[in-house]
Amino acid sequence: MNYVLSKEDLAPFLAQLSKRFQVIVPAKNDSGIVTFQEFSGQEVCLETERLSSPKKFFRPAKEKIFSFAKKKEGYEVKPVFDKTKRVIFGIRPCDTHALQALDELFIRYYGLDQFYSSRRKNTLLIALQCTKACENGFCQSMGTSQAVGADIVFTERGDEFFVRPETEAGRAILDRKLFKQTGDAEPSSKISCKVSLETHNLAENIYRGFESPVWKQEAERCLSCTSCTQVCPTCYCYTTDDEFEFGSGSKSSRFRFLDSCQLKRFTTVAGNHMFRASRSSRLRQFVLHKFSYYQENHGMQLCVGCGRCISVCPTKISLVEIANSIQKQVLEGAK
């Protein structure tokens, strides 16, 4: 059974949920950016445009993973799992697909990453379908324009939401006073993206352009500022570091931090060898990881077409333009 919720009743619904969950909503921050933040009655922003994703609740910038203390013999290690009961409202279809890509790596492929899966297990997702195309997104090309794996799916329809519960857990949080049953068909959430990427044999064709001059041409503008990887909902790379307490007790914690392949530091290994010293090789790593390597290793794309990396790049580098022009080159060369 599906439901409708009047937009006026969204805030009361979220307020109700706040009693039992940490509720996360998209809302504008002080600098006018739409970010995911804890709900405390602020205006929920339904705009499609948003530079930040809910990644920070699954792969935070800084995450304590265990504490360790010196004992008479050896160390005592205590892992830290985030078990906060959370509801994320307003996650967009592309970002639900991003979580699928992360699940593949952190739950299925590497064996269980319990720090990630604990957050995942304890979070309910209320997806919000897009009814208007965003500036740089290309979810249609990537096949990510419909929400997956959400507990409830909302679609805007005039001054109300059409609500489709997808899981038992999702159904259980719908308040029967606010949500009215409906027999209507789901409103269409078909949009026309302004950006489009050629995806036929993408992984293979773009890899064949490994030596293309395009990488170098584009990288001349690249500032290696890492903005692209920071805002990407699927960039997961991290580094670890320890923090200690002063005094003799030797109580310490290990953290993991988001990292970025656009940094020289990231590509530096033992003996100070830098395996991707040139800027172009780092830019290429970003694009090939998204479109080629992940497909090869995991059978899925690591890019969900959200377009954020394009929106934030100060020098207007677009992975779509790069991929399209390399594919064109490769296919023309093959003729």
Q: Does 45 bind another protein (CB under 8 A)?
A: no
- If DSSP states are collapsed to H, E and C, what string results for 16-34? HHHCCCEEEEEEECCCCCE
For ligand SF4, the binding residue among 113, 289, 322, 330 (CB under 6 A) is: 289
For another protein, the binding residue among 71, 176, 265, 273 (CB under 8 A) is: 265
**Partner that binds at residue 61, options another protein, ligand SF4, none, CB closer than 5 to 8 Å by kind:** another protein
For another protein, give the closer residue by CB, 33 or 77: 33
Q: Does 222 bind ligand SF4 (CB under 6 A)?
A: yes
Q: Does 285 bind another protein (CB under 8 A)?
A: no
Q: Does 20 bind another protein (CB under 8 A)?
A: no
Q: Does 4 bind ligand SF4 (CB under 6 A)?
A: no
For ligand SF4, the binding residue among 228, 322, 323, 330 (CB under 6 A) is: 228
Label residue 48 exposed, middle or buried (CB < 10 Å: 0-12, 13-18, 19+).
middle
For another protein, the binding residue among 65, 148, 178, 312 (CB under 8 A) is: 312
For another protein, the binding residue among 2, 224, 324, 329 (CB under 8 A) is: 224
Tokens 């996650």 identify what position? 91
Whole-angstrom distance, CA of residue 335 vs CA of residue 332: 5
Q: Does 35 bind ligand SF4 (CB under 6 A)?
A: no
Q: Does 179 bind ligand SF4 (CB under 6 A)?
A: no
For another protein, the binding residue among 85, 244, 296, 297 (CB under 8 A) is: 244
Residues in contact with another protein, counted by CB under 8 A, come to a total of 37
Part in contact with another protein (CB under 8 A); list of ranges 9-17, 130-138, 168-176, 241-249: 241-249
For another protein, the binding residue among 5, 52, 98, 276 (CB under 8 A) is: 52
Neighbours of 183 (CB within 10 A): 6
Structural element, H or E, at residue 15: helix 10-18
Helix ranges (H only) for 104-181 are: 114-121, 139-142, 168-172
Whole-angstrom distance, CA of residue 262 vs CA of residue 287: 11
Name the minimum Å distance from CB 302 to ligand SF4: 7
Q: Which two tokens stand for residue 133?
A: 């195309």
Q: Does 237 bind ligand SF4 (CB under 6 A)?
A: yes
Residues in 60-79 that interact with another protein by CB under 8 A: 61
Q: Does 221 bind another protein (CB under 8 A)?
A: yes
Query: Phi then psi for 33, rounded to 5 degrees?
Result: -90, 140
Paired with 3 in beta bridges are 163, 181
Nearest to 66 by CA among 243, 286, 277: 243
Which amino acid does the sequence have at 97? H
Q: Which two tokens stand for residue 96?
A: 């639900």
Nearest to 36 by CA among 47, 44, 25, 45: 25
- Give, in order, the Cα–Cα distances in Å from 256 to each of 232, 253, 289, 291, 334: 18, 10, 21, 26, 45
For ligand SF4, give the closer residue by CB, 90 or 137: 137
Residues 6+ apart with CB under 8 A from 320: 138, 195, 196, 197, 310
For another protein, give the closer residue by CB, 6 or 281: 281
Q: Interface residues with another protein (CB under 8 A)?
A: 29, 31-33, 35, 51-52, 61, 220-227, 230-231, 241-248, 250, 252, 258, 260, 263-265, 279, 312, 314-315
**Where do contacts with ligand SF4 occur on this chain (CB under 6 A)?**
222-229, 231-237, 260-262, 285-286, 289-290, 303-309, 312-315, 317, 319
